[in-house]
Chains A and B, each alone.
Chain A
Amino acid sequence: MHQEYTVIEGDFVNAGKASSSVKKTLKQMNVEPSKIKRVVVALYEAEVNAIAHAYGGKVLVDIDSDKIKMVVADKGPGIPDIALAMQEGYSTARPEVRDMGFGAGMGLPNMQKNVDKLNVISEVGVGTTVEMEVNF
């Protein structure tokens, strides 16, 4: 099953729409609740990053019986040093983002913890693509 969503820069009100819809689909498929939580937390973190740090983007989700693949691809400033960004506590979040309860530099490390496969591809001035996989 293939699903696509669009995320818009700064649109915190709709942050999580994609994750929320994926959550419903996985529930209907009777995926184990702890797995669902890992999937949606990771996807939500990536969605929030595309909204908070980039100029929005696309979420592509492919679900089959034994795994889910998620891609969050944004147009944005990119990440100059991915290893640094992956470190817990590193954040360049703006004050507006912090006001929404984000910007602790915990998102990328949290994605890493929740998924079975994580791949972050980024080009400065072009954008960032986060690919994730969770096996059911």
Chain B
Amino acid sequence: MKLREIVKLLDAKVCIGEGRLDEDVEHAFASDLMSDVLTLKDTPMLITGLCNVQTIRTCDMATLDIIIIVRNKKVTEDMLELAEDNDMVILSCSYSMFKTCGLLYQAGIQPLF
């Protein structure tokens, strides 16, 4: 599924990464626990409610570069800066984690496990 379609489906805001919206996404992982994100061998899109610099840094370390922040949490300037340095995409949507995951799953995005 194209990122552009995901933005539409979730009625999301593109915080950064406008230039990558034609890329395809197949897999997603949802967690607020960065400890868990660090155990992934693959590099899925991340859906998370944890919205701070550590979220972005953890993704950088785990080489995940597409992040969906749920529940309209405020994406700060320092998060955007770090994301820009690493050519990441950050989408922000107002839906809950549950609804976001449900919509994406229904649309064919695959889980890792």
Where the two chains meet, the residues of B that have a C-beta atom closer than 8 Å to any C-beta of A are 32-39, 50, 52-55, 57-58, 60-63, 78
User: Least Cβ distance of A133 to chain B in Å?
Assistant: 18
Contact between A15 and B39 (Cβ–Cβ < 8 Å)?
no
Given contacts A101-B35, A103-B35, A106-B36, contact A13 B60 (CB under 8 A): no
User: Least Cβ distance of B112 to chain A in Å?
Assistant: 15
Residues of B contacting A: mostly: helix
* Residues on the A chain within 8 Å of B32, using CB: 101
Contact between A110 and B38 (Cβ–Cβ < 8 Å)?
yes
Number of chain A residues whose Cβ lies closer than 8 Å to a Cβ of chain B:
24
**Stretch of A33-41, A75-83, A123-131 lying at the B interface:** A33-41
* Residues on the A chain within 8 Å of B53, using CB: 12-13
User: Least Cβ distance of A46 to chain B in Å?
Assistant: 11
* Residues on the B chain within 8 Å of A41, using CB: 38, 61-62
